[in-house]
Amino acid sequence: MGELQNKQNELLKLLQSPTSGHPLVSQDGMMLDPHTGETFCIRNGIPVILRSDDVFGWNRRQQAGYNLFSPLYDLLYKFNIAQKWLAEVFEIMDVKSGEYILETSVGTGQQIRNLERNGVDANFFGNDISFGMLRRCQRNIEKWGIDMGLVQGNAEALPFQNELFDVVFHIGGFNFFNNKMAAIEEMIRVARPGAKLYIGDETDSIRDKPGLVARIADRFMPSHEAYAPPVDLLPDDMLSVETHSLLDDKFWMVSFQRSGNAATESKGTSA
């Protein structure tokens, strides 16, 4: 990774065990939970804070699919509608230079690159369930000159300690989560009081397309209800909740702000 190591080194100090909620420490090339003795490997410089038996259901399907798809993702992205979508997303997001920013499903880093190209010089961190996508992201950020900390983890049990980030966002893939409420709770837990949060994904308009595309969608994609913006899953004390329709209603986005209350307690709460 050359000189782009500052954020990766800082990342190691921010991690916690998704099993116990205890902060992890770096030891002998591993990440160790000193309270339980559980260890997590560091693979190609990326901490893997994820156990295989914690990935099941839709999460397993998505992990396998994105691992397979990762070599082609950036090539297809150039011709994808997602570029227009992300341009609209950026107009909604309130992101400032110097802030600590976490993308909970970072993919190959295209959203972070979009922020950086629009003048945001921030402290970037990315989590993803797919190691294939993270390796592609690792190569990309070195090529782009973006210093970002990367970790493999499950967005439904984020491997980060409490109240670290000024902005937390998830763009794409949210419809496929096993437990959307857990993912939202985790985003809130790792966000600082007053932090800004954003969740976005596609609508089920793909099912309105004729023929083969619609049949494939009905066979391999979640039910219609899974594509609804998850406003009803947000805690009552969230502030400035808004739902946005993007790109002629092909995508939705929910923006909100964390209240000033103490961190939500969950299995990921640090002791």
Q: Write the CATH number of the domain with boundaries 54-257.
A: 3.40.50.150
User: Does residue 258 contact residue 240 with C-beta atoms inside 8 Å?
Assistant: no
| pLDDT (tens digit per residue) in 202-255 | 887 765 655 544 444 444 455 555 678 999 999 999 999 999 998 888 889 999
Burial of 228 per CB tally in 10 Å (0-12, 13-18, 19+): middle
Distance between CA atoms of residues 215 and 225, nearest Å:
17
Show the tokens assigned to 169: 């966002």
Domain boundary assignment for the chain: 54-257
pTM over 0.95: no
| Nearest CA-CA partner of 253 in 232, 270, 230, 234 | 230
Distance between CA atoms of residues 55 and 52, nearest Å:
6
| pLDDT (tens digit per residue) in 71-111 | 666 666 666 655 666 778 888 999 999 999 999 999 999 88
